Amino acid sequence: MLKLNAVILFLLDFYIFFALRATNIKFMRTKWFTFLWWGYSIALLIGLFISFQYSIPLAIRSIILVAFFITAVSKFIYAIVLIVDDLRRGGIWVSRLFSNKKGQNLEEKLEELEKPLPEVPKKGISRSDFLLKSGIVVAALPMLPLAWGVISTAYDYRIRRQKLYLPNLPKAFHGMKIGQISDVHSGSFFNKKAVLGGVEMLLKEKPDVIFFTGDLVNNVASEMREYQDIFSKVQAPLGVYSTLGNHDYGDYYFGPTDSPAKRKNLQDLIETHKVMGWDLLMDENRKLKVGNEEISIVGVQNWGTGRFPKKGDLQKALLGTEEQAVKLLLSHDPSHWRAQVLDTNIDAMFAGHTHGMQFGVRGENFQWSPAKYIYKEWAGLYKEGNSQLYVNTGYGFLGYPGRVGIAPEITIFELVSG
- In this predicted model, what pLDDT tens digit does every residue of 268-289 receive, in sequence order? 999 999 999 999 999 999 999 9
Alpha helices in 99-142 (DSSP H): 106-114, 127-140
Judgement on whether residues 189 and 241 belong to the same structural domain of the protein: yes
Distance CA 185, CA 401 (A): 11
Over residues 182-217, the pLDDT tens digits come to 999 999 898 899 999 999 999 999 999 999 999 999
DSSP strands (E only) in 244-365: 279-280, 284-290, 293-299, 327-330, 348-351, 361-362
Residue 49's pLDDT is: 77
Q: Provide, for the chain, the percentages of residues in helix, strand and coil under a 3-state DSSP scheme, each rounded to the nearest 5.
A: 45, 20, 35
pTM of the model: 0.74
Range of the domain at 62: 2-141
Would 384 be classed as within a structural domain? Answer: yes
pLDDT (average), residues 26-41: 82
Where among 113, 141, 169 does a domain terminate? 141
Judgement on whether residues 372 and 245 belong to the same structural domain of the protein: yes
How many domains are contained in the chain? 2
Worst-scoring range by mean pLDDT, 44-53, 245-254, 278-287, 408-417?
44-53
Worst-scoring range by mean pLDDT, 118-122, 166-170, 242-246, 376-380?
118-122
What is the 8-class DSSP label of residue 370?
G
Looking up residue 189, the CATH number of its domain turns out to be 3.60.21.10
Confidence of residue 396 (pLDDT cuts 50, 70, 90): very high
Confidence of residue 103 (pLDDT cuts 50, 70, 90): very low
Confidence of residue 58 (pLDDT cuts 50, 70, 90): very low
Judgement on whether residues 85 and 174 belong to the same structural domain of the protein: no
Where among 101, 119, 141 does a domain terminate? 141
Judgement on whether residues 106 and 199 belong to the same structural domain of the protein: no
Where among 92, 116, 141 does a domain terminate? 141
Over residues 307-335, the pLDDT tens digits come to 888 999 999 999 999 999 999 999 999 99
Judgement on whether residues 265 and 171 belong to the same structural domain of the protein: yes
Residue 66's pLDDT is: 61
